[in-house]
């Protein structure tokens, strides 16, 4: 797409942040839409979920994140080896469709490639285990993000802009946060620097902040 010279003004109205600060009504871990099991299986599951956690565009009949996480939860409950690294490394579109209960998603070739990278990376560096990867980071969320970025190209969402590298690392940070959240900060989910993760650069964030009155946009 060709960039256009439009100037968008964004302001924070007085009281906008205060109106939502401290509101934890949406905070929590949804066991109903996420797999719950032993620690290693949960981490492996989250790695797959977050490898596929991109490009959800609301439209009639389209899937959202919770549809993806629930489908993978059911696949793993039905077959405990469904998300093993060797199967991920050999993933096909048909195989992914099977994991999703017969559903296809946009960008299926890219999603399949992401899973292959995850499977091969885990096999080559961490004996096939996402839990081993997390364990190698010594309880550091920041180190975990760095290892994920270094080991898995599909998690490297950065770009060069005017001679500078601009880094987002959205899904790598989400994965670290998800592991901390699902394990409630215990075991391999105990991370002494989880507060150092940045706010996830998600296209939904400005939409939500606008809905809460935190941000206002010019026409």
Distance CA 84, CA 130 (A): 10
Q: Catalytic residue, from 67, 84, 157, 202: name it.
A: 202
Token readout for 191 is 């991370």
Q: What is the dihedral of CA 25, 29, 32, 36, to 10 degrees?
A: -170
Q: Is 157 a catalytic residue?
A: no
What ranges in the chain are assigned the alpha helix state H? 39-51, 65-78, 85-89, 93-99, 108-126, 130-135, 141-151, 170-182, 204-211
Whether 133 and 147 have beta carbons less than 8 Å apart is answered as yes
Tell me the backbone φ, ψ of residue 158, rounded to 5 degrees: -135, 165
Q: Which residues are catalytic?
A: 202
């Amino acid at each position: 797409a060709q960039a256009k010279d439009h100037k968008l003004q964004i302001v924070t109205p007085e009281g906008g942040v205060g109106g939502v600060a401290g509101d934890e009504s949406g905070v929590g871990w949804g066991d109903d839409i996420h797999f719950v099991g032993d620690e290693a299986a949960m981490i492996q599951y989250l790695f797959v979920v977050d490898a596929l956690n991109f490009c959800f565009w609301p439209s009639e009949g389209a899937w959202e994140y919770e549809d993806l996480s629930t489908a993978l939860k059911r696949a793993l409950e039905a077959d405990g080896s469904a998300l093993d690294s060797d199967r991920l490394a050999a993933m096909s579109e048909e195989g992914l469709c099977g994991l999703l209960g017969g559903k296809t998603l946009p960008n299926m070739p890219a999603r399949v490639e992401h899973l292959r990278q995850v499977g091969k990376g885990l096999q080559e560096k961490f004996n096939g285990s996402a839990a081993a990867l997390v364990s190698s980071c010594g309880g550091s969320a920041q180190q975990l993000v760095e290892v994920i970025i270094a080991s898995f190209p599909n998690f490297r969402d950065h770009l060069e802009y005017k001679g500078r590298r601009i880094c987002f690392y959205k899904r790598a940070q989400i994965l670290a946060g998800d592991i901390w959240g699902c394990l409630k900060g215990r075991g391999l989910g105990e991370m002494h620097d989880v507060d150092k993760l940045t706010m996830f650069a998600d296209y939904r964030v400005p939409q939500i902040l606008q809905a809460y009155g935190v941000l206002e946009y010019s026409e």
